[in-house]
Chains A and B, each alone.
Chain A
Amino acid sequence: MKKTAINLTVNGRSRDAVVPPRMLLSDLIRHELALPGTHVGCEHGVCGACNVLVDGKAVRSCLMFAVQADGCEITTVEGFSAGGLDLVQTAFWEEHGLQCGFCTPGMLASAHELLAENPDPTDDEIREAIAGNLCRCTGYEYIIAAIRSAARKMRDAETAAKRQPA
């Protein structure tokens, strides 16, 4: 089978791979690039566990071929925590926004996308943003609380940064 050489930036690092066309992006990330934090729950694009950020947008990595990510910038859960747990992860910890943690990386990707576009979302906007991420453990309430809290933390951090003299 013909393979294609690709190059992509994953969590800030340039990565090369040689992939057959049919390899799913989720498999590339997990098995070829050895970043198992991205999870696979259904492989038909419904559960959202495999959500990653591709050029800043949350996408189902099970519905994209690895070869399509050539030249893209990808952020996975490992990228969010490169410098320790980030504000969103910390909020999930504090608010008990996870139980088994299997849906969490996808939830984090959706939350990051939401908060990048909408720093002060309503609960219904949060709900809508994570409605494409199935969780069987939490009943979602503490996830919503976590994203609400993360939004506040990020706004506070922004305000504090602005107050800092240049």
Chain B
Amino acid sequence: MASHLDSNVIPPSRQRETPRSGLTWIGQSMKRVEDPRILAGKGGYIDDVTVPGMAHAAMVTSPHAHARIVSIDTSKARALPGVIGVYTGQDLARVVDPCPSFASPPVPQHAIVLDKVRHVGEVVAAVVAEDRYVAEDAAELVEVEWEILPANVDIEASLEATGDAVIHPDDRDSNRALDESFQFGPVDEHFAAAAHVIKRRLRWHRSSAQAIETCGVVAQFDPISGSYTIHANTNFYNFIPFVIGGSLRVSPGELRIIPVLAGGSFGSKVFNHKILIRTAGLSRLAGVPVKYIEDRVEHFTNSDSHGSDRLYDAELAVMEDGTFKSLRFTVLDDYGAYLQFGVGTHGNAMAQVTGPYRIESFGMRVIAVLSNKTQQGPYRGFGSEVTNWVMERMADAAAKELGRDPVELREQNMIAADAFPYMIPTGNIYDSGNFQKVLAEAKGLFDLDAWRERAKALRAGGRCVGVGVATCMERSVYGPTEWWSLNNRETPGFTLTSTPEAITARVDPSGKLFVTLHSPMVGNSPETVVTQVLAERLTVAPEDVVINYSDSQSGFNSVGPQGSRFTAMIAGACVSASIKLEERLKRFGAYMLQRRPEDVELRDGCVAVVGSQDQKKTFAEIALTSSFFRLSFPEGEEYDSGIDCTAVYDHPISTDPDPERKHLGIFYPIVGHICHMVAVEVDPGTGKVEILDYAAVHDNGTIVNPRTLGGQVWGGTANGIGTALSEQFLYDADGQFTNPNFSEFAMPTANEMPRNFKLGHVETPSPYTEYGVKGGGEGGRLGAPSALTSAIEDALSDFGVTISSLPVTPPVLRGMIRAAQASG
């Protein structure tokens, strides 16, 4: 039978290192290579950077959500001793063009606004001064006269805005930035045939990553060469020159971005091009190197990394026997005042929108809404954390309406373990999995049956105790088509298809393996992963691997850690490099041993004759000879001095979207699977939720380092607990952001975490990546909100409460309980 997916042919696997047991380093909880210097306080973060002659910037920010600038007077600020310069948007525009936008058509954005502010905290002028204190003094002296415009705060009302409430009136006559509809398969037919159509209106509120380090830049313009040298804590340093070069009016090669250790990202340091452009421009205008580090309030209000803010009207078509047949929804997403990557967060969600279930078709209308809030950016999950929650809410809703057990109904609909690779309606594939095994493992770890009995008994005694289960996907290793595949087909924008990762490696004459990475460390474990994979593949001792980082002029072809891609991608680059180095080591080594290359092998850091114990040359001997004794080898390029290589690894398996968007191609195929089970108690009088027990089982394929993966799962789960229970950006009717601080934006502390968290793993290796590795950096946040929501709903089942919105803070929950008490 013809299918909309027929043209989406799965390419053959390019895997070179098969998953297997008996590996030496891969699978070990090796202590991290990165840690000693960080523990000693010598990590080297952005604010640790000092360059000679450096000045400091402070920003004049908007107190209004939406206002025209009538006038700006910087004279008092300029007159303050210690001030080098004060610059408005018009000043900056002399040296800088608008920010890049992956949206198509783009929504124009300036690093300092020209004539109008569109959210609280947006920059209207910048001060460069001798120190940060004086810069902030001067910023206070800048006088701005405002004409207040109507603020758009509500997601639905924003769509109806007209006149002065339109946020970008020069470019579009409404606040609807994009409105696209998709049908993947016979959605209407499936809904027509359904025995039950489950409907829910679901709201996911805005929050953001809030890494403990904010974003920062130290920029220096050299007027003689016309080039910039920039230190920045971006995840993206070998890619971002191509993104911002145009804005800075230089070629990417004239931008030298020097990476630093980043104090956490979770997405927030990926697209931080705005402060790069602004700070670079300021250094050019002021004629001195400029440091700008966002303070916490600026990071909250102006860092362009707010997370999803969505309203779904979702429908699930269910057959009489409980089979999930089709899913469709209309989603409004409040993107804030700009649209830097279009609806990439929805593109991402298309990777796994139907969850672990055999759902045959899927339809969507996505509407990007502009509002007077800070622009959205990446945040752990990149939109898939929301669709995971939507899918799980719909599964729970179906169970409730059909009178079925929610876990058993999930099991009934799960993709079978022998059905992989499995193509979902959007065209993405799930490379492998065993969802049933993960579920079984979780049931055992949590003792689901016992907890359900206990919860029931406690509820009978008047306590509000409940159990929640979520079975979710954790897609990893993205391809960049997600950024543009949902754009308007006539104007899709920059349709890139490469997001490679690379390393440079060299065996030096002392025998050490020097490796250069082209992506930064942001709290992940790049050096440890590379050390483990190279030690495995080249039989060297981990302590003989020495790791450095390039800058953007010496590096290349790397996109960095996002979308849970880095471990799989860098493992691929390490294998590629190993193959090249092995070939070279064997050629030189074999010559030195007077053997043919095919007669030797790598063994314990040596090139050794196969079958011989003592006929061998250490890598040090080979590298020393090949580096310094050219005349010891024959003529010919292949014996040119030195053992080194460069290796690039492209996405392991991806395809283009269908030109008519019948499907989106394969773009996020390396899938993990997670099952979270949680027991909670709600205090009905206060709405407080206590987590009584928590178990998480994750399948992230072959595990390189169990301890570091455990850290990711734990951290992601903490993040998801915050998302579910306490973290929300709150705006008043005027668009004032009321809680942009750590006192009121309530991220979990050690006190809020579950006391007895149990972590389990299943390993279903990927058939496409080296060693079968999958990503695992987001799973906690991809599962915890769903499991907690289910558990709370279960705990409050006697009140008949339905949870359709996150977070459920104590006041929100108490409000639901109060309403139920009043009506019941």
> A46 with B263: in contact, given A127-B750, A142-B711, A143-B750 (CB under 8 Å)?
no
What 0/1 pattern do residues 32 to 71 of B give for CB contact below 8 A with A? 1011101111110101100000000000000000000000
What 0/1 pattern do residues 85 to 122 of A give for CB contact below 8 A with B? 10001001110101111111100100000000000000
Closest B residue to A106 using CB positions:
B212
CA–CA, A143 and B781, complex, Å: 19
CA–CA, A130 and B120, complex, Å: 33
B133 touches A98 (CB 8 A): no
Segment of B356-364, B427-435, B643-651, B715-723 engaged in the interface with chain A: B715-723
CA–CA, A81 and B37, complex, Å: 10
- Tell yes or no: B484 within 8 A of A by CB: no
Cβ-defined partner of B41 (8 Å) among A37, A40, A140: A37
Q: How many A-B contacts if CB must be within 8 Å? A: 176
B741: chain A residues within 8 A (beta carbon): 42, 44, 46
CA–CA, A41 and B295, complex, Å: 8
> A103 with B41: in contact, given A44-B742, A128-B751, A136-B715 (CB under 8 Å)?
no
Cβ-defined partner of B296 (8 Å) among A43, A78, A98: A43
A77 touches B751 (CB 8 A): no
Distance in Å: Cβ of A80 to nearest Cβ of chain B: 8
- Tell yes or no: A51 within 8 A of B by CB: no
B212 touches A49 (CB 8 A): yes
Query: Which of chain B's residues 746-804 have a Cβ closer than 8 Å to chain A?
Result: 747, 749-751, 753, 755, 757, 780
A78 touches B41 (CB 8 A): yes
- Tell yes or no: A61 within 8 A of B by CB: no
A134 touches B742 (CB 8 A): yes
B750 touches A140 (CB 8 A): yes
B31 touches A41 (CB 8 A): no
CA–CA, A35 and B48, complex, Å: 9
What 0/1 pattern do residues 209 to 225 of B give for CB contact below 8 A with A? 11111100000000000
Distance in Å: Cβ of B723 to nearest Cβ of chain A: 12
B714 touches A85 (CB 8 A): no
> A77 with B40: in contact, given A100-B262, A101-B261, A142-B711 (CB under 8 Å)?
yes
> A100 with B213: in contact, given A36-B48, A46-B743 (CB under 8 Å)?
yes
CA–CA, A41 and B266, complex, Å: 16
- Tell yes or no: A57 within 8 A of B by CB: no
- Tell yes or no: B98 within 8 A of A by CB: no
CA–CA, A140 and B42, complex, Å: 22
Cβ-defined partner of A137 (8 Å) among B264, B707, B751: B264
A92 touches B39 (CB 8 A): yes
- Tell yes or no: B708 within 8 A of A by CB: yes
CA–CA, A138 and B710, complex, Å: 9
B210: chain A residues within 8 A (beta carbon): 136
B707: chain A residues within 8 A (beta carbon): 96, 142
A99 touches B36 (CB 8 A): no
B717: chain A residues within 8 A (beta carbon): 139
A77: chain B residues within 8 A (beta carbon): 39-41
CA–CA, A139 and B708, complex, Å: 12
CA–CA, A74 and B722, complex, Å: 34
- Tell yes or no: B522 within 8 A of A by CB: yes
CA–CA, A122 and B779, complex, Å: 30
A101 touches B263 (CB 8 A): yes
Closest A residue to B707 using CB positions:
A96
Distance in Å: Cβ of B18 to nearest Cβ of chain A: 28
Cβ-defined partner of A142 (8 Å) among B524, B710, B755: B710
Distance in Å: Cβ of A99 to nearest Cβ of chain B: 4
B708 touches A36 (CB 8 A): no
B719 touches A136 (CB 8 A): yes
A37 touches B264 (CB 8 A): no
Distance in Å: Cβ of B27 to nearest Cβ of chain A: 15
- Tell yes or no: A23 within 8 A of B by CB: yes
A142 touches B714 (CB 8 A): yes
> A144 with B35: in contact, given A41-B296, A42-B741 (CB under 8 Å)?
no
Distance in Å: Cβ of A53 to nearest Cβ of chain B: 13
Closest A residue to B295 using CB positions:
A43
- Tell yes or no: A16 within 8 A of B by CB: no
A94 touches B213 (CB 8 A): no
Closest B residue to A20 using CB positions:
B133
Distance in Å: Cβ of B709 to nearest Cβ of chain A: 10
A137: chain B residues within 8 A (beta carbon): 264, 523, 711, 715
Distance in Å: Cβ of A161 to nearest Cβ of chain B: 24
Cβ-defined partner of B753 (8 Å) among A36, A40, A136, A140: A140
Closest A residue to B780 using CB positions:
A139
Q: How many residues of B contact A (CB 8 A)?
A: 57
Distance in Å: Cβ of B519 to nearest Cβ of chain A: 15
A104: chain B residues within 8 A (beta carbon): 38-39
> A36 with B45: in contact, given A96-B711, A102-B213, A134-B212 (CB under 8 Å)?
yes
A134 touches B262 (CB 8 A): no
Residue from B211, B262, B525, B757 having most chain A Cβ neighbours under 10 A: B211
Cβ-defined partner of B39 (8 Å) among A42, A89, A141: A89
CA–CA, A47 and B299, complex, Å: 14
B749 touches A131 (CB 8 A): yes
A93 touches B31 (CB 8 A): yes
A134 touches B749 (CB 8 A): yes
Cβ-defined partner of A92 (8 Å) among B34, B35, B48, B755: B35
B40 touches A85 (CB 8 A): yes
B750 touches A131 (CB 8 A): yes
Distance in Å: Cβ of B547 to nearest Cβ of chain A: 16
B39 touches A93 (CB 8 A): yes
Closest A residue to B749 using CB positions:
A131
A43: chain B residues within 8 A (beta carbon): 295-296
Closest B residue to A86 using CB positions:
B39
Distance in Å: Cβ of A57 to nearest Cβ of chain B: 19
Distance in Å: Cβ of A108 to nearest Cβ of chain B: 8
Closest B residue to A103 using CB positions:
B212
B743 touches A127 (CB 8 A): no
A132: chain B residues within 8 A (beta carbon): 749
Cβ-defined partner of A139 (8 Å) among B29, B212, B714, B743: B714
B265: chain A residues within 8 A (beta carbon): 100
A99 touches B264 (CB 8 A): yes
> A135 with B212: in contact, given A96-B710, A142-B711 (CB under 8 Å)?
yes
CA–CA, A99 and B265, complex, Å: 11
CA–CA, A92 and B45, complex, Å: 19
B43: chain A residues within 8 A (beta carbon): 101-102
Query: Which of chain B's residues 705-747 have a Cβ closer than 8 Å to chain A?
Result: 707-708, 710-712, 714-719, 741-743, 747
A144 touches B750 (CB 8 A): yes
CA–CA, A139 and B716, complex, Å: 7
A85 touches B261 (CB 8 A): no
Residue from A93, A139, A142 having most chain B Cβ neighbours under 10 A: A139
- Tell yes or no: A39 within 8 A of B by CB: yes
- Tell yes or no: A152 within 8 A of B by CB: no
What 0/1 pattern do residues 238 to 278 of B give for CB contact below 8 A with A? 00000000000000000000000111111000000000000
Cβ-defined partner of B757 (8 Å) among A127, A135, A141: A141
What 0/1 pattern do residues 430 to 447 of B give for CB contact below 8 A with A? 000000000000000000
CA–CA, A123 and B756, complex, Å: 11
B295: chain A residues within 8 A (beta carbon): 43
Distance in Å: Cβ of B741 to nearest Cβ of chain A: 6
Distance in Å: Cβ of B557 to nearest Cβ of chain A: 25
- Tell yes or no: A30 within 8 A of B by CB: yes
Cβ-defined partner of B718 (8 Å) among A47, A85, A127, A139: A139
Chain A residues at the B interface, C-beta cutoff of 8 Å? 20, 22-23, 30, 35-44, 46-47, 49, 76-78, 81, 85, 89, 92-94, 96, 98-105, 108, 123, 126-128, 130-144
Can you identify 9 A-B contacts, CB atoms within 8 angstroms?
A: A35-B41, A40-B47, A49-B212, A85-B40, A96-B711, A99-B523, A100-B521, A134-B747, A139-B714
Q: Which 3 A-B pairs have the closest CB atoms?
A: A37-B41, A100-B523, A102-B263
Beyond the given pairs A41-B213, A92-B35, A102-B263, 18 more chain A to chain B contacts, judged by CB atoms under 8 angstroms and listed by A's residue number, are A36-B47, A42-B296, A47-B212, A49-B212, A78-B41, A96-B31, A96-B708, A99-B525, A100-B213, A101-B34, A101-B38, A101-B263, A128-B751, A131-B751, A134-B747, A138-B714, A140-B718, A141-B757
